[in-house]
Structure 1
């Protein structure tokens, strides 16, 4: 049970780190690569093949500006790809639209701008279809999340 995390620049590390945080919470292994769809396309293709061969079952891809990385990855594999639009210009809306508006038959699941934590959670959900122990952990996580919310919000609230 392993996920690949790919993003285009070292400057994206702080944003993409939260995908790893989510995966760690559920004890899901991952590997990380900094690759560019535009600067090193041949290396990207090689890494995608290596990921498929190594048993990676889902790829999280973060990208800003033109944000082609998730779509290029999706065009080269049948593994599920989760895109994380990274805020760079136009508040990240340009990245969001670049990732979410994929052509027919080449989908990229897309989370909110800079929300790599949700990308990690979506990867966990995808993997939980195959790994039942992961599904059990997700149920426990959600139950505890609800209980914590109720406890924190039952207290007297003054405005």
Structure 2
């Protein structure tokens, strides 16, 4: 039997899925059970309300909500759910996602939405993992190992830069 999801990755439209794939990949990397759903704040408002009101009852611990344009999904879900919500501003053709970012970060007092950079669902996934790791020592150790791998990667690049010099390093990029 599959473990019940701990993270819900939701988006306002299927066009947001390529952006939200980063959060999916992070959940997979850290072996976090997750679910993915299209829930439009504007086209399926009753579905959104039902989802937000019941996510914690179903055992969800963190919600990652991606939205573009008006980007109401993260804020509306946060207004209805007691769970932490991480908003992912999805880039738009008209304003390159700045409209989405502003919509998500301008929440009133009492209704927080954690927000990552435009299009950076990977960081939303990592933030969800870190939230879960705060109560799970095994997962916390995996986060620490992951962070160390990032540092190791930078140090490998530095070593290569030291060996080659900046001009030759740049030519190999």
Checking the alignment, whether the CA contact within 8 Å between 2:55 and 2:81 is kept in structure 1 is no
Answering whether residue 6 of structure 2 is matched by residue 5 of structure 1, we say no
Give RMSD over aligned pairs. 1.1
The match for 2:133 among 128, 141, 145 is: 128
TM-score, scaled relative to structure 1: 0.96
The match for 1:137 among 134, 142, 145 is: 142
After superposition, where does 1:54-93 map in structure 2 within 5 Å?
54-88=58-92, 89-93=94-98
The match for 2:122 among 114, 117, 138 is: 117
Local SS of the residue matching 2:102: helix
Local SS of the residue matching 1:60: strand
If asked which structure has higher relative contact order (CA below 8 Å, sep 6+), I would say: 1
Write the deviation string for residues 85-122 of structure 1: whole angstroms up to 9, x where unpaired.
Answer: 00113111110010001000000000000000000000
The match for 1:48 among 36, 45, 52 is: 52
Q: C-alpha displacement at 1:65, in angstroms? A: 0.4
Structure 2 residues not aligned, in runs of 5+: 168-173
Q: C-alpha displacement at 1:131, in angstroms? A: 1.1
* 4+ residue runs over 4 A deviation: none
